[in-house]
Structure 1
Amino acid sequence: MKKLIALTLLNGFLLTHSPSYGQNIKLNAASLSPVQVSMTVRKLDGEDVVKVCKDTAVKAVDQPTFARLNKVIFKNGSIEVKVLSRLLKTAKKDDRGFIGIAFHINDDNSKFEGIYIRPTNGRADDQVRRNHTVQYFSFPDYPYSRLRKENPEVYETHADIGLNEWIKLKIEVKGNQAKLYINDSKFPAFLVNDLKLGPDTAGGIGLWVDVGTEGFFRDLRILPTNE
Protein backbone atom coordinates (compact mmCIF):
# COMPACT_ATOMS: atom_id res chain seq x y z
CA MET A 1 0.00 0.00 0.00
CA LYS A 2 1.33 3.43 -0.89
CA LYS A 3 2.23 5.69 1.96
CA LEU A 4 -0.10 8.64 2.36
CA ILE A 5 0.79 12.12 3.55
CA ALA A 6 -1.78 14.18 5.44
CA LEU A 7 -1.80 17.97 5.32
CA THR A 8 -3.03 20.50 7.78
CA LEU A 9 -2.62 24.26 8.00
CA LEU A 10 -1.70 25.79 11.33
CA ASN A 11 -1.35 29.56 11.64
CA GLY A 12 -0.92 29.77 7.87
CA PHE A 13 2.00 27.31 7.64
CA LEU A 14 1.96 24.00 5.80
CA LEU A 15 2.67 20.97 7.96
CA THR A 16 3.16 17.41 6.71
CA HIS A 17 2.54 14.21 8.65
CA SER A 18 2.65 10.54 7.82
CA PRO A 19 -0.49 8.82 9.16
CA SER A 20 -2.78 7.07 6.70
CA TYR A 21 -5.65 9.50 7.13
CA GLY A 22 -6.38 13.09 6.21
CA GLN A 23 -7.01 15.98 8.50
CA ASN A 24 -9.42 18.87 8.21
CA ILE A 25 -7.89 22.11 7.02
CA LYS A 26 -9.06 25.18 8.86
CA LEU A 27 -10.51 27.67 6.40
CA ASN A 28 -9.91 31.24 7.48
CA ALA A 29 -8.31 34.50 6.39
CA ALA A 30 -4.85 33.15 7.26
CA SER A 31 -5.14 30.00 5.16
CA LEU A 32 -6.75 31.50 2.03
CA SER A 33 -6.01 34.23 -0.51
CA PRO A 34 -8.82 35.62 -2.73
CA VAL A 35 -8.18 35.64 -6.49
CA GLN A 36 -10.76 37.73 -8.35
CA VAL A 37 -13.34 36.94 -5.66
CA SER A 38 -14.62 38.39 -2.40
CA MET A 39 -14.17 36.11 0.60
CA THR A 40 -15.55 36.18 4.12
CA VAL A 41 -15.73 33.75 7.05
CA ARG A 42 -19.14 33.41 8.68
CA LYS A 43 -21.54 31.05 10.42
CA LEU A 44 -24.00 28.96 8.42
CA ASP A 45 -26.10 26.18 9.96
CA GLY A 46 -24.02 26.60 13.11
CA GLU A 47 -20.74 25.90 11.29
CA ASP A 48 -17.82 28.15 10.40
CA VAL A 49 -17.80 28.43 6.61
CA VAL A 50 -16.08 30.45 3.92
CA LYS A 51 -18.31 32.49 1.63
CA VAL A 52 -16.91 33.17 -1.85
CA CYS A 53 -18.38 35.35 -4.63
CA LYS A 54 -16.88 36.16 -8.02
CA ASP A 55 -15.80 39.75 -8.62
CA THR A 56 -18.37 41.47 -10.84
CA ALA A 57 -15.58 43.00 -12.93
CA VAL A 58 -14.71 39.54 -14.29
CA LYS A 59 -17.12 39.03 -17.18
CA ALA A 60 -15.73 35.88 -18.82
CA VAL A 61 -16.57 32.43 -17.42
CA ASP A 62 -14.29 29.53 -16.43
CA GLN A 63 -11.70 31.97 -15.10
CA PRO A 64 -9.30 31.96 -12.11
CA THR A 65 -11.98 33.03 -9.63
CA PHE A 66 -11.26 31.23 -6.38
CA ALA A 67 -10.06 31.46 -2.80
CA ARG A 68 -6.63 29.87 -3.04
CA LEU A 69 -5.14 27.82 -0.22
CA ASN A 70 -1.87 29.26 1.00
CA LYS A 71 1.29 27.13 1.05
CA VAL A 72 -0.35 24.05 -0.48
CA ILE A 73 1.08 22.17 -3.46
CA PHE A 74 -0.94 19.20 -4.75
CA LYS A 75 -0.15 16.68 -7.49
CA ASN A 76 -1.90 13.34 -6.87
CA GLY A 77 -4.29 12.26 -4.13
CA SER A 78 -7.73 13.37 -3.00
CA ILE A 79 -9.45 16.64 -2.19
CA GLU A 80 -12.71 16.64 -0.21
CA VAL A 81 -14.93 19.59 0.60
CA LYS A 82 -18.57 20.31 1.34
CA VAL A 83 -20.12 23.01 -0.82
CA LEU A 84 -23.42 24.86 -0.87
CA SER A 85 -24.45 27.39 -3.50
CA ARG A 86 -27.21 29.93 -3.82
CA LEU A 87 -28.11 32.30 -6.61
CA LEU A 88 -27.35 35.94 -5.95
CA LYS A 89 -30.17 38.43 -6.30
CA THR A 90 -28.31 39.77 -9.33
CA ALA A 91 -28.10 36.32 -10.98
CA LYS A 92 -29.26 36.04 -14.57
CA LYS A 93 -31.56 33.44 -16.09
CA ASP A 94 -28.68 31.25 -17.29
CA ASP A 95 -26.71 31.30 -14.03
CA ARG A 96 -26.56 27.85 -12.46
CA GLY A 97 -25.02 28.19 -8.99
CA PHE A 98 -21.55 27.30 -10.29
CA ILE A 99 -19.27 25.98 -7.53
CA GLY A 100 -16.36 23.54 -7.32
CA ILE A 101 -12.66 22.87 -6.84
CA ALA A 102 -9.72 24.24 -8.81
CA PHE A 103 -6.46 22.28 -8.64
CA HIS A 104 -2.98 22.22 -10.17
CA ILE A 105 -2.98 26.03 -10.05
CA ASN A 106 0.36 27.48 -11.16
CA ASP A 107 2.20 30.24 -9.30
CA ASP A 108 0.61 33.21 -11.07
CA ASN A 109 -2.88 31.67 -11.42
CA SER A 110 -2.58 31.66 -15.22
CA LYS A 111 -3.05 27.88 -15.54
CA PHE A 112 -5.17 25.41 -13.60
CA GLU A 113 -7.88 22.80 -14.03
CA GLY A 114 -11.02 22.09 -12.10
CA ILE A 115 -14.30 20.30 -11.67
CA TYR A 116 -17.46 22.19 -10.78
CA ILE A 117 -21.19 21.60 -10.51
CA ARG A 118 -24.27 23.42 -11.75
CA PRO A 119 -26.81 22.64 -8.99
CA THR A 120 -29.80 24.19 -10.78
CA ASN A 121 -29.39 21.61 -13.55
CA GLY A 122 -29.45 18.53 -11.32
CA ARG A 123 -33.23 18.25 -11.10
CA ALA A 124 -34.29 20.30 -14.10
CA ASP A 125 -37.21 19.13 -16.27
CA ASP A 126 -34.97 19.36 -19.35
CA GLN A 127 -32.80 16.24 -19.78
CA VAL A 128 -30.13 18.15 -21.71
CA ARG A 129 -29.72 20.52 -18.77
CA ARG A 130 -29.49 17.55 -16.41
CA ASN A 131 -26.66 16.15 -18.53
CA HIS A 132 -24.74 19.38 -17.91
CA THR A 133 -24.73 19.22 -14.09
CA VAL A 134 -21.04 18.34 -13.58
CA GLN A 135 -18.22 19.94 -15.59
CA TYR A 136 -14.45 19.59 -16.06
CA PHE A 137 -12.43 22.42 -17.59
CA SER A 138 -8.83 23.59 -17.87
CA PHE A 139 -7.82 27.26 -17.91
CA PRO A 140 -6.99 28.94 -20.22
CA ASP A 141 -7.17 26.61 -23.22
CA TYR A 142 -10.14 24.36 -22.47
CA PRO A 143 -13.23 26.23 -21.20
CA TYR A 144 -16.49 24.30 -21.01
CA SER A 145 -17.64 25.77 -24.34
CA ARG A 146 -14.71 24.33 -26.28
CA LEU A 147 -14.91 20.94 -24.59
CA ARG A 148 -18.66 20.73 -25.19
CA LYS A 149 -18.28 21.65 -28.86
CA GLU A 150 -15.34 19.36 -29.65
CA ASN A 151 -16.26 16.42 -27.39
CA PRO A 152 -19.98 16.52 -26.53
CA GLU A 153 -20.90 14.82 -23.23
CA VAL A 154 -17.34 13.64 -22.54
CA TYR A 155 -16.39 16.29 -19.96
CA GLU A 156 -19.76 16.69 -18.21
CA THR A 157 -22.50 14.52 -16.76
CA HIS A 158 -25.61 14.41 -14.58
CA ALA A 159 -25.81 14.25 -10.78
CA ASP A 160 -28.80 14.42 -8.43
CA ILE A 161 -28.01 17.66 -6.61
CA GLY A 162 -29.70 21.00 -5.98
CA LEU A 163 -29.29 24.57 -4.80
CA ASN A 164 -29.07 25.52 -1.13
CA GLU A 165 -28.02 22.08 0.09
CA TRP A 166 -24.70 20.82 1.37
CA ILE A 167 -23.02 18.60 -1.21
CA LYS A 168 -19.83 16.69 -0.52
CA LEU A 169 -17.38 16.67 -3.41
CA LYS A 170 -14.36 14.39 -3.45
CA ILE A 171 -11.88 14.53 -6.33
CA GLU A 172 -9.28 11.79 -6.67
CA VAL A 173 -6.38 12.61 -8.99
CA LYS A 174 -3.82 10.13 -10.26
CA GLY A 175 -1.69 10.93 -13.28
CA ASN A 176 -3.93 11.81 -16.20
CA GLN A 177 -7.16 10.76 -14.45
CA ALA A 178 -9.57 12.48 -12.08
CA LYS A 179 -12.60 10.88 -10.43
CA LEU A 180 -15.41 12.80 -8.76
CA TYR A 181 -17.41 11.25 -5.93
CA ILE A 182 -20.55 12.99 -4.66
CA ASN A 183 -22.04 12.65 -1.16
CA ASP A 184 -20.01 9.61 -0.07
CA SER A 185 -21.03 7.49 -3.04
CA LYS A 186 -19.07 4.26 -3.33
CA PHE A 187 -18.62 4.79 -7.06
CA PRO A 188 -17.49 7.89 -8.96
CA ALA A 189 -20.16 10.03 -10.59
CA PHE A 190 -17.72 11.42 -13.15
CA LEU A 191 -14.43 10.45 -14.80
CA VAL A 192 -11.85 12.49 -16.68
CA ASN A 193 -9.22 10.30 -18.30
CA ASP A 194 -7.09 12.95 -20.00
CA LEU A 195 -6.41 15.87 -17.68
CA LYS A 196 -5.31 18.67 -19.97
CA LEU A 197 -2.34 19.88 -17.92
CA GLY A 198 -0.71 16.45 -18.04
CA PRO A 199 0.24 13.73 -15.53
CA ASP A 200 3.27 15.50 -14.02
CA THR A 201 1.53 18.74 -13.06
CA ALA A 202 1.50 19.95 -9.48
CA GLY A 203 0.06 23.17 -8.11
CA GLY A 204 -2.28 24.91 -5.75
CA ILE A 205 -5.88 24.28 -4.76
CA GLY A 206 -8.73 26.81 -4.87
CA LEU A 207 -12.35 27.07 -3.74
CA TRP A 208 -13.92 28.05 -7.05
CA VAL A 209 -17.12 29.90 -7.99
CA ASP A 210 -18.46 31.58 -11.09
CA VAL A 211 -21.03 34.18 -12.09
CA GLY A 212 -24.26 34.69 -10.15
CA THR A 213 -23.20 32.40 -7.29
CA GLU A 214 -23.02 32.84 -3.55
CA GLY A 215 -20.77 29.90 -2.66
CA PHE A 216 -20.08 28.37 0.75
CA PHE A 217 -17.32 25.89 1.66
CA ARG A 218 -16.51 23.83 4.77
CA ASP A 219 -14.91 20.57 5.96
CA LEU A 220 -11.94 20.65 3.62
CA ARG A 221 -9.59 17.65 3.64
CA ILE A 222 -6.56 17.04 1.42
CA LEU A 223 -4.90 13.64 1.26
CA PRO A 224 -2.01 13.67 -1.22
CA THR A 225 -0.04 10.60 -2.20
CA ASN A 226 3.74 10.66 -2.30
CA GLU A 227 3.91 10.14 -6.07
Structure 2
Amino acid sequence: MTKIVTSLSGHLRLLKKRTYQTAVLLLMSCIMGGFKVARAQDLNKKFTVINRIISLDRKSGVVHLNKAEGAGIAWINGQVFDKGVIEFDVKGKDEFQGSFLGIAFHGVNDSIYESVYFRPFNFRSTDLGRKSHAVQYIALPGYDWPKLRTGFPNQFEQLVLPAPDPNQWFHVKIIVAGELVSVYVNNSKRPALKVKSLTRTGGKMIGYWVGNGADGNWRNLKISSE
Protein backbone atom coordinates (compact mmCIF):
# COMPACT_ATOMS: atom_id res chain seq x y z
CA MET A 1 0.00 0.00 0.00
CA THR A 2 2.82 2.39 0.93
CA LYS A 3 4.49 1.73 -2.43
CA ILE A 4 1.25 2.52 -4.25
CA VAL A 5 0.80 5.82 -2.37
CA THR A 6 4.43 6.76 -3.01
CA SER A 7 4.07 5.95 -6.69
CA LEU A 8 0.86 8.01 -6.98
CA SER A 9 2.50 10.94 -5.21
CA GLY A 10 5.40 10.79 -7.64
CA HIS A 11 3.07 10.73 -10.63
CA LEU A 12 1.12 13.68 -9.26
CA ARG A 13 4.30 15.71 -8.74
CA LEU A 14 5.44 14.88 -12.29
CA LEU A 15 2.02 15.81 -13.66
CA LYS A 16 2.05 19.13 -11.80
CA LYS A 17 5.57 19.86 -13.09
CA ARG A 18 4.60 19.09 -16.69
CA THR A 19 1.40 21.13 -16.35
CA TYR A 20 3.43 24.06 -15.04
CA GLN A 21 5.97 23.76 -17.85
CA THR A 22 3.18 23.59 -20.44
CA ALA A 23 1.52 26.66 -18.95
CA VAL A 24 4.80 28.58 -19.05
CA LEU A 25 5.39 27.60 -22.68
CA LEU A 26 1.86 28.64 -23.61
CA LEU A 27 2.31 31.97 -21.81
CA MET A 28 5.62 32.64 -23.56
CA SER A 29 4.06 31.71 -26.88
CA CYS A 30 1.21 34.17 -26.30
CA ILE A 31 3.63 36.92 -25.29
CA MET A 32 5.87 36.37 -28.32
CA GLY A 33 2.83 36.17 -30.56
CA GLY A 34 1.63 39.46 -29.09
CA PHE A 35 5.02 41.03 -29.78
CA LYS A 36 4.90 39.85 -33.39
CA VAL A 37 1.40 41.26 -33.85
CA ALA A 38 2.43 44.55 -32.24
CA ARG A 39 5.53 44.76 -34.46
CA ALA A 40 3.46 44.03 -37.56
CA GLN A 41 0.98 46.72 -36.54
CA ASP A 42 3.84 49.19 -35.94
CA LEU A 43 5.29 48.49 -39.40
CA ASN A 44 1.87 48.89 -41.00
CA LYS A 45 1.67 52.34 -39.45
CA LYS A 46 5.10 53.29 -40.77
CA PHE A 47 4.85 51.79 -44.26
CA THR A 48 2.40 51.21 -47.06
CA VAL A 49 3.70 48.01 -48.61
CA ILE A 50 2.95 46.96 -52.18
CA ASN A 51 3.42 43.31 -53.23
CA ARG A 52 5.87 42.44 -50.46
CA ILE A 53 6.14 41.63 -46.77
CA ILE A 54 8.29 44.02 -44.76
CA SER A 55 10.26 43.17 -41.63
CA LEU A 56 12.52 45.18 -39.34
CA ASP A 57 15.40 44.03 -37.18
CA ARG A 58 15.11 46.47 -34.31
CA LYS A 59 18.62 45.78 -33.03
CA SER A 60 20.44 46.47 -36.31
CA GLY A 61 17.83 48.73 -37.88
CA VAL A 62 17.83 46.63 -41.07
CA VAL A 63 14.66 46.82 -43.16
CA HIS A 64 13.96 43.73 -45.28
CA LEU A 65 11.56 43.14 -48.16
CA ASN A 66 10.94 39.54 -49.13
CA LYS A 67 11.19 37.91 -52.55
CA ALA A 68 8.09 37.72 -54.77
CA GLU A 69 7.04 37.97 -58.40
CA GLY A 70 6.72 41.49 -59.75
CA ALA A 71 8.13 44.71 -58.34
CA GLY A 72 7.55 45.68 -54.72
CA ILE A 73 7.58 48.96 -52.81
CA ALA A 74 7.41 49.98 -49.16
CA TRP A 75 6.29 53.61 -49.14
CA ILE A 76 7.29 55.45 -45.97
CA ASN A 77 4.13 56.92 -44.46
CA GLY A 78 4.32 60.61 -43.62
CA GLN A 79 7.62 61.12 -45.47
CA VAL A 80 7.60 63.47 -48.45
CA PHE A 81 10.41 64.17 -50.91
CA ASP A 82 10.66 66.48 -53.91
CA LYS A 83 14.30 67.47 -54.17
CA GLY A 84 17.33 67.10 -51.95
CA VAL A 85 19.52 64.18 -50.86
CA ILE A 86 18.70 60.53 -50.20
CA GLU A 87 21.35 58.38 -48.49
CA PHE A 88 21.22 54.75 -47.42
CA ASP A 89 23.13 51.50 -47.14
CA VAL A 90 21.83 48.59 -49.17
CA LYS A 91 22.65 44.91 -49.54
CA GLY A 92 21.68 42.60 -52.40
CA LYS A 93 23.34 39.42 -53.63
CA ASP A 94 25.34 37.96 -56.48
CA GLU A 95 22.47 35.98 -57.97
CA PHE A 96 22.00 36.35 -61.73
CA GLN A 97 18.67 38.04 -62.47
CA GLY A 98 17.81 37.71 -58.79
CA SER A 99 18.78 41.01 -57.18
CA PHE A 100 17.23 44.36 -58.10
CA LEU A 101 16.95 46.89 -55.29
CA GLY A 102 17.00 50.61 -54.61
CA ILE A 103 14.71 53.54 -53.87
CA ALA A 104 11.48 54.79 -55.42
CA PHE A 105 10.72 58.52 -55.19
CA HIS A 106 8.34 61.15 -56.58
CA GLY A 107 5.67 58.50 -56.11
CA VAL A 108 2.01 59.09 -56.81
CA ASN A 109 0.99 55.44 -56.37
CA ASP A 110 2.44 51.97 -57.01
CA SER A 111 2.58 52.54 -60.79
CA ILE A 112 3.65 56.18 -61.11
CA TYR A 113 7.08 57.02 -59.69
CA GLU A 114 10.78 57.36 -60.43
CA SER A 115 13.38 54.92 -59.16
CA VAL A 116 17.11 54.41 -58.93
CA TYR A 117 18.09 50.81 -58.39
CA PHE A 118 21.04 48.43 -58.61
CA ARG A 119 21.77 45.03 -60.10
CA PRO A 120 24.49 43.70 -57.75
CA PHE A 121 24.97 40.54 -59.83
CA ASN A 122 26.40 42.76 -62.58
CA PHE A 123 28.87 44.67 -60.39
CA ARG A 124 31.86 42.41 -61.04
CA SER A 125 30.72 40.56 -64.12
CA THR A 126 33.43 39.76 -66.66
CA ASP A 127 30.87 40.51 -69.39
CA LEU A 128 31.31 44.22 -70.16
CA GLY A 129 27.73 44.50 -71.39
CA ARG A 130 26.35 43.19 -68.11
CA LYS A 131 28.78 45.24 -66.08
CA SER A 132 27.49 48.44 -67.71
CA HIS A 133 24.00 47.59 -66.43
CA ALA A 134 24.88 47.91 -62.74
CA VAL A 135 22.86 51.01 -61.78
CA GLN A 136 19.58 52.02 -63.42
CA TYR A 137 17.17 54.96 -63.49
CA ILE A 138 13.54 54.44 -64.51
CA ALA A 139 10.43 56.63 -64.62
CA LEU A 140 7.18 54.70 -64.64
CA PRO A 141 4.86 54.17 -66.34
CA GLY A 142 6.39 55.51 -69.54
CA TYR A 143 10.06 54.70 -69.16
CA ASP A 144 10.84 51.26 -67.80
CA TRP A 145 14.29 49.75 -68.38
CA PRO A 146 13.56 47.85 -71.66
CA LYS A 147 12.42 51.04 -73.40
CA LEU A 148 15.36 53.03 -72.04
CA ARG A 149 17.93 50.38 -72.95
CA THR A 150 16.60 50.18 -76.52
CA GLY A 151 15.92 53.85 -77.12
CA PHE A 152 18.66 55.44 -75.03
CA PRO A 153 21.50 52.91 -74.71
CA ASN A 154 24.01 53.60 -71.90
CA GLN A 155 22.27 56.82 -70.87
CA PHE A 156 20.06 55.66 -68.02
CA GLU A 157 22.15 52.73 -66.80
CA GLN A 158 25.87 52.52 -66.14
CA LEU A 159 28.59 50.50 -64.45
CA VAL A 160 29.74 51.24 -60.92
CA LEU A 161 33.45 51.88 -60.33
CA PRO A 162 35.10 50.74 -58.21
CA ALA A 163 32.75 47.77 -58.23
CA PRO A 164 31.32 46.95 -54.79
CA ASP A 165 31.19 43.40 -53.47
CA PRO A 166 27.75 42.23 -54.69
CA ASN A 167 27.12 40.28 -51.48
CA GLN A 168 28.03 43.06 -49.03
CA TRP A 169 26.62 46.38 -47.90
CA PHE A 170 27.38 49.43 -50.01
CA HIS A 171 26.53 53.09 -49.50
CA VAL A 172 24.37 55.12 -51.87
CA LYS A 173 23.84 58.86 -52.14
CA ILE A 174 21.24 60.21 -54.55
CA ILE A 175 21.04 63.94 -55.21
CA VAL A 176 17.88 65.24 -56.85
CA ALA A 177 18.41 68.84 -57.92
CA GLY A 178 15.84 70.26 -60.28
CA GLU A 179 15.72 67.92 -63.27
CA LEU A 180 19.06 66.25 -62.50
CA VAL A 181 19.39 62.95 -60.65
CA SER A 182 22.96 62.05 -59.59
CA VAL A 183 23.92 58.75 -57.98
CA TYR A 184 27.09 58.24 -55.93
CA VAL A 185 28.28 54.88 -54.57
CA ASN A 186 30.56 54.30 -51.57
CA ASN A 187 31.41 57.98 -51.14
CA SER A 188 32.88 58.31 -54.62
CA LYS A 189 33.41 61.90 -55.74
CA ARG A 190 32.29 61.03 -59.25
CA PRO A 191 28.66 59.98 -59.87
CA ALA A 192 28.11 56.45 -61.11
CA LEU A 193 25.01 57.76 -62.90
CA LYS A 194 23.84 61.26 -63.75
CA VAL A 195 20.63 61.68 -65.71
CA LYS A 196 17.94 64.19 -66.52
CA SER A 197 14.60 63.25 -65.03
CA LEU A 198 12.22 61.96 -67.69
CA THR A 199 8.99 62.92 -66.00
CA ARG A 200 7.39 65.28 -63.53
CA THR A 201 4.96 63.10 -61.61
CA GLY A 202 4.03 65.71 -59.03
CA GLY A 203 4.24 62.98 -56.43
CA LYS A 204 6.25 63.18 -53.22
CA MET A 205 6.11 59.63 -51.88
CA ILE A 206 9.39 57.84 -51.22
CA GLY A 207 10.15 54.27 -50.25
CA TYR A 208 12.20 51.10 -50.58
CA TRP A 209 11.99 49.36 -53.98
CA VAL A 210 12.73 45.84 -55.24
CA GLY A 211 12.35 44.37 -58.71
CA ASN A 212 10.80 41.20 -60.03
CA GLY A 213 11.75 38.12 -58.04
CA ALA A 214 14.06 40.06 -55.73
CA ASP A 215 14.38 40.71 -52.01
CA GLY A 216 16.57 43.31 -50.34
CA ASN A 217 17.99 44.89 -47.19
CA TRP A 218 18.41 48.56 -46.27
CA ARG A 219 19.69 50.50 -43.29
CA ASN A 220 20.69 54.05 -42.27
CA LEU A 221 18.22 55.82 -44.53
CA LYS A 222 18.61 59.61 -44.39
CA ILE A 223 16.39 61.98 -46.36
CA SER A 224 17.27 65.67 -46.58
CA SER A 225 14.64 67.63 -48.43
CA GLU A 226 15.23 71.11 -49.81
Correspondence 1:196 to 2:171 = no
Deviations 1:51-105 (A, max 9, x none): 112433x3xxxx4x21110011211101111100136xxx7xx514111010000
Which is strand-richer, 1 or 2?
Answer: 1
CA contact (8 A) 1:96 1:121 kept: no
Provide the C-alpha distance between the structure 2 equivalents of 1:110 and 1:128, rounded to a whole number of angstroms. 28
CA-based RMSD of the aligned residues comes to 2.0
- One-letter amino acid matched to 1:40: S
Q: Which residue in 2 is equivalent to 1:100?
A: 102
CA contact (8 A) 2:68 2:213 kept: no
Provide the C-alpha distance between the structure 2 equivalents of 1:77 and 1:102, rounded to a whole number of angstroms. 14
CA contact (8 A) 1:38 1:55 kept: no
How far the C-alpha of 1:164 sits from its partner, in A, is 1.9
Deviations 1:10-56 (A, max 9, x none): xxxxxxxxxxxxxxxxx95542221111111126xx62211112433
Identical-pair percentage = 31
CA contact (8 A) 1:54 1:213 kept: yes
Q: Which residue in 1 is equivalent to 2:47?
A: 32
CA contact (8 A) 1:121 1:162 kept: no
Structure 2 segments unaligned to the other structure (5+ residues):
1-41
- One-letter amino acid matched to 1:134: V
Q: How many residues align?
A: 183
- One-letter amino acid matched to 1:196: L
- One-letter amino acid matched to 1:131: S
Structure 1 segments unaligned to the other structure (5+ residues):
1-26
Provide the C-alpha distance between the structure 2 equivalents of 1:209 and 1:116, rounded to a whole number of angstroms. 8
Which is helix-richer, 1 or 2?
Answer: 2
Of the structure 1 ranges 156-165 and 138-147, higher mean CA displacement relative to structure 2 is found in: 156-165
Kindly name which structure, 1 or 2, has the bigger radius of gyration based on alpha carbons. Answer: 2
Residues 114-193 of structure 1 mapped to structure 2, 5 A cutoff: 114-159=115-160, 160-193=163-196
Q: Go from structure 1 to structure 2 and tell me whether the alpha carbon gap of 1:219 and 1:29 turns closer, same or farther (over 3 Å shift).
A: farther
Helix, strand or coil for the counterpart of 2:49?
strand
CA contact (8 A) 1:98 1:210 kept: yes
CA contact (8 A) 1:29 1:41 kept: no
Q: Which residue in 2 is equivalent to 1:73?
A: 80
